[in-house]
Amino acid sequence: MHVDITELARSRPRITTGATTIDPVTAEVIRDTMETVCFEMAVYVSRTATTPILNQSNERNATILDARGRLAALSVGIPQFMLTSTLPVRFALDFLGVEEFREGDVFVANDPYHGGGHLPDYNVFAPVFGPDLATGERRMVLIASIQCHHGDTGGAVPGGYNVTANDIWGEGSRWPVLKVIDQGRERRDVLYAMSVNNRIPDYIGDLRAQIGAAQLAVERLGELIERWGVPQVEESVDYMIDYAARRFREEVAAWPDGTYEADTYVDHDPLGHPDIHLHVKIDVAGERLTIDFTGTDDRQEIQAWSTFGNTRGYTVGQIAAMMDPEIPKNEGFFEEIELVVPPGCVLNPSPGKPVSAGTHHPGAEVGEVIALALQHVLPEKAVPQVYKTGIPTVIVGVDPRTGASFTDHSAEVYAGWCNAAYGMDAWGCQAAAFGNLWKATAEINESLYPHVQWGRDYRTDSGGPGQWRGLCGSHYVKEVRVDAKVYTYVVGMKYPMPGIAGGHAGEPNLLTIRYGSDDPHVVRHTADWVPMSAGQRLCYDYGGGGGWGDPLDRDPQAVLDDVLDEYVSVEGAERDYGVVLTGSLADLTLAVDEAATATLRASRRTAGPSAGER
């Protein structure tokens, strides 16, 4: 069955509450309660899942939808995850019919072409029932959903990322919608079929953690309905959706009318085809916002595809980051964006295209190109919700402690890709686009996998110069203790994180396998099971974030502080910021030469914007 996901996204128009009887305070209380339930679902998964990718990383998101599949509430998590949960549920409602949603049921879906992002993202959802006062019968009121990234999907390649697959079927098992719990009874046949199509023994434990989280939410939301009643809960959802839509329109109405365009690129696809092009045209007309990706790359031979649901998620995530954070992120927010994504382009591929890598790139670059288009209109809010990860660096081998194969997704802490914002240097270690994704300590992963991590230091001079500085990337070194193979895809080498409003780009990524050996392998686009011998090292120099504003406007004292903190070198201070320092870093006697700095900066300004760029 072919499903037009773009039509599905529009298939439930906004419904106004009309003469609603609910008051705003009660509506807010009910919404807050639902968001608390979402948080509880997410925490449940972290505490009960059986593999590190779920019980450590926080790579999960919970949402609550109404009976028509409209997003009502969500938890704090990975922005793109939060925004791709609705379409798989809507497909299930349309395909199965509402009558197939019964009390005690739990469903699973992971199919990118039925609303998801890529196959590793499993959505588990369950209906919540309450009494219909008019008929006395129980009917579906809400749907609780928990979405998580799993460590494997079956298919030809361990780890869930077959970036050289010819089609979606080569990437793993597709489950458009399966009922795994039927009115409270576990479908052992279905769960067993799913388990034998996955390499990871603990995969079914992770899936059960999601099922348990959904069932917990059903219990909690049932208590909510019992307390407030079905009419109050449904009116609260309607009210908050209308409220979000109204607040969205008010924000857009305050933006300058006009048409704003931008282009950005991904270095290459996993096969090496270069310069994957994204183009956006954003129209602001009163309170209407149209985002049109016409002109985006549609070469059919390339292998970098982001599904419509994934593209929609990144679009909403970027726009949400540029608006008042108090606006609820629900269906009212989504539906006010008129989104145009031509079928067949890399952001809305024809069914069957492989998408495991494309969910990251060009998916993430959706936020980048939107920020670039709006940087001259909303410069103070133009922070790209982007990362340049390629895919995780997957290392496989056999653990001598157990005799079993392992799949290490290299999920240790590292720094990279975090852009500066107006009034603030980039901070922390991870790009905001990752939300609350948590990376494991070296010690945790060393206990799980046969490797040793020798370094994860900041890279001096890697943060993009600007009036406010981008975050430094990191120098990450790992030694494998057994023979192993590496599979990954790297971007951000030709097109690193961009500067905004005159800021400079961050330093690019660089991954070297067998680092320091007589036979190093520098990854040019894809590492297709590159072998490593026990004792050899992998070095990933993660790229830095882009700067914001002209570097010549940065406070010289802030530049000096960066040099003392080793974020910027003495040479970089002069080269990138026009700040002349006297004294010695080794002796901690550095000081700003005010006169020489003023003279150098004046000459740079006269020479033009290219002066001093790296």
pLDDT(72) > 50: yes
Do residues 500 and 419 touch, judged by C-beta distance below 8 A? yes
Alpha-carbon distances, residue 318 vs 234, 311, 359, 368, 381 (angstroms): 29, 11, 15, 8, 10
- Name which residue leads in pLDDT, 15 or 606: 606
Beta strand extents in 99-153 (DSSP E only): 106-109, 121-131, 138-149
Element (H, E) at 10: helix 5-10
pLDDT(81) > 60: yes
Q: Quote the DSSP letter at residue 495.
A: S
Strongest mean pLDDT among 75-79, 111-115, 280-284: 280-284
pLDDT(507) > 70: yes
Which residues face 440 on adjacent strands? 412
**pLDDT for the residue numbered 609:** 65
294/288 Cα distance (integer angstroms): 18
**pLDDT for the residue numbered 17:** 44
Backbone angles phi, psi at 337, to 5 degrees: -95, 120
- Name which residue leads in pLDDT, 18 or 64: 64
Q: In the chain, how many H helices and how many E strands?
A: 15, 22
**pLDDT for the residue numbered 82:** 66
345/471 Cα distance (integer angstroms): 32
pLDDT digits (tens, 9 = 90+) for 163-184: 889 899 999 999 999 999 999 9
pLDDT(614) > 60: no
User: Among 87, 9, 77, 26, which Cα is nearest to 237's?
Assistant: 26
Count the helix, strand and coil residues of the chain and give each as a percent rounded to the nearest 5.
30, 20, 45
- Tell me the pLDDT of the chain averaged across its residues: 92
**pLDDT for the residue numbered 16:** 44
Rounded to 5°, the CA angle 424-330-341 comes to 85
**pLDDT for the residue numbered 12:** 46
* Cβ count near 555 (within 10 Å): 13
**pLDDT for the residue numbered 197:** 93
pLDDT mean over 144-154: 91
pTM: 0.92
* Cβ count near 61 (within 10 Å): 30
Predicted confidence band at 18 (pLDDT cuts at 50, 70, 90)? very low
pLDDT(612) > 50: no
Least confident of 114-128, 132-146, 419-433: 419-433
pLDDT digits (tens, 9 = 90+) for 563-599: 999 999 999 999 999 999 999 999 999 999 999 999 9
Return the axis-axis angle of helices 188-196 and 203-228, rounded to nearest 10°. 140
pLDDT digits (tens, 9 = 90+) for 395-426: 999 999 999 999 998 988 888 999 999 999 99
User: Among 9, 595, 22, 112, which Cα is nearest to 353's?
Assistant: 112
Task: Classify 566 in phi/psi space as left (phi over 0), alpha (psi -120 to 50) or beta.
Answer: left
pLDDT digits (tens, 9 = 90+) for 260-275: 999 999 999 999 999 9
pLDDT(142) > 70: yes
**pLDDT for the residue numbered 607:** 87
Sheet harboring 185-186: ordered strands across? Answer: 71-74, 60-66, 138-149, 121-131, 106-109, 178-182, 185-186
**pLDDT for the residue numbered 134:** 80
pLDDT digits (tens, 9 = 90+) for 227-240: 999 999 999 999 99
pLDDT(613) > 60: no
Q: Which two tokens stand for residue 571?
A: 């040479």
Exposure on the CB side of residue 579, measured as CA atoms within 13 A: 27
pLDDT(610) > 70: no
pLDDT digits (tens, 9 = 90+) for 350-390: 999 999 999 999 999 999 999 999 998 899 999 998 899 89
Predicted confidence band at 77 (pLDDT cuts at 50, 70, 90)? confident
Q: Where are the alpha helices (DSSP H) in 414-569?
A: 442-448, 556-564
Is residue 465 classed exposed, middle or buried when 0-12, 13-18 and 19+ CB atoms within 10 A define those classes? buried
pLDDT digits (tens, 9 = 90+) for 447-479: 999 999 999 899 999 999 999 999 999 999 999
